[in-house]
Amino acid sequence: MTRAEPVPPAFVRDEDTTAPTVGRAAHGFRASLDPANPLRVPSVVADAGQLGPYWVAAAALTGLSHLHLGTTGQDRYSFHADASTQGVAVTVADGLGSRPRTAQLGADTLARTLSQALAATPGTAFGSDPRPAVAAAVAIANERLCDTADPRGPENLASVFAAARLPESGGPLILARVGDCSAFGLGPDGFFPIFGEKDGALNEPGAYLPADDPLTGLELRTVPAGGCRALVLATDGLAEDLRGSPAIRDWLAARWERPCHTMWMLNSLRYRRQGSHDDRTALVVWFPPFE
């Protein structure tokens, strides 16, 4: 006897939103839960609050594609303040889509370990050349991924990240990434990109962790103190929307003009853009003094 195909409700309620729709938004997306994957992550995760001298708001939303196909989201974010060094670090990570059951575990491990390692590094270690200190933190995170990975398929945890060690004592903001997560500054004139993006096809294989040499794909940037009002770390789904859509940029610049709370953060990411089906994760840090 075969079981009948389930029929979804004709109408499913949700809160109204003023978030924009850009392009032709097709109807017919389903939302299916991932019942057979005990490793799935919640489809909505959000936080907001004081983190040391900074205000942080973050949200990770499972994308339309994963919901439609009934697979788990693969983005994670993390923040950490170290009691001994007083260092604060934040990370967003994205498990690679080709590993649909386990990549979120890699993203989670990577985000948490890297935030901890960056925050635990004394501020003096970043000095005039932060690369060795950042590289050491990335190596720790890579090692943790290698330890966690199944030796028969270490790529099952394949993940990419963007991370920041937040500024202290007038020092610069230090940013690092491996892969296609991104970072943007938000100033009076709106967003500006911190990492460049290559032209060409979107789905080009890039660097990821775990890797034999985790520093091969490591990119590093610094932003001088006072260089932006807020920092946005974004996984590629959101970063592509920021780069490709002026309407989404305007919307999010207005939404994140001032520090916000959890629900505001979630609603900020509820826009609809044609072809934007990937998970969306943003971690926004507002720097003092606050208006």
Residues at the interface with other proteins (CB under 8 A) = 22-29, 63-66, 68-69, 71, 74, 94, 96-98, 100, 180, 191, 193, 196-206, 236-237, 240, 242-247, 249, 273-279
- In the complex, what is the shortest distance from the CB of residue 246 to other proteins, in angstroms, rounded to a whole number? 6
- In the complex, what is the shortest distance from the CB of residue 129 to other proteins, in angstroms, rounded to a whole number? 24
Q: Which residues contact 200 (CB under 8 A, 6 or more apart)?
A: none
By C-beta, is 64 or 137 nearer to other proteins?
Answer: 64
By C-beta, is 79 or 184 nearer to other proteins?
Answer: 184
CB distance 253 to 212 below 8 Å: no
What does the block give as tokens for 130?
A: 């932060």
CB distance 55 to 286 below 8 Å: yes
By C-beta, is 133 or 149 nearer to other proteins?
Answer: 149
By C-beta, is 126 or 191 nearer to other proteins?
Answer: 191
Give the separation between CA 22 and CA 208, rounded to whole angstroms.
Answer: 31
- In the complex, what is the shortest distance from the CB of residue 95 to other proteins, in angstroms, rounded to a whole number? 8
Give the separation between CA 290 and CA 288, rounded to whole angstroms.
Answer: 5
Specify the 3-state DSSP secondary structure of 47: strand
By C-beta, is 53 or 70 nearer to other proteins?
Answer: 70
By C-beta, is 62 or 142 nearer to other proteins?
Answer: 62
Which helix (H) or strand (E) element contains residue 148?
helix 131-148
Which helix (H) or strand (E) element contains residue 107?
helix 103-120
Helix 246-255 × helix 236-244 angle, to 10°: 110
- In the complex, what is the shortest distance from the CB of residue 270 to other proteins, in angstroms, rounded to a whole number? 17
Give the separation between CA 270 and CA 33, rounded to whole angstroms.
Answer: 19
By C-beta, is 123 or 193 nearer to other proteins?
Answer: 193
* C-alpha distance across the termini of the chain, in Å: 65
- In the complex, what is the shortest distance from the CB of residue 80 to other proteins, in angstroms, rounded to a whole number? 26
- In the complex, what is the shortest distance from the CB of residue 132 to other proteins, in angstroms, rounded to a whole number? 27
- In the complex, what is the shortest distance from the CB of residue 127 to other proteins, in angstroms, rounded to a whole number? 29
CB distance 205 to 160 below 8 Å: no
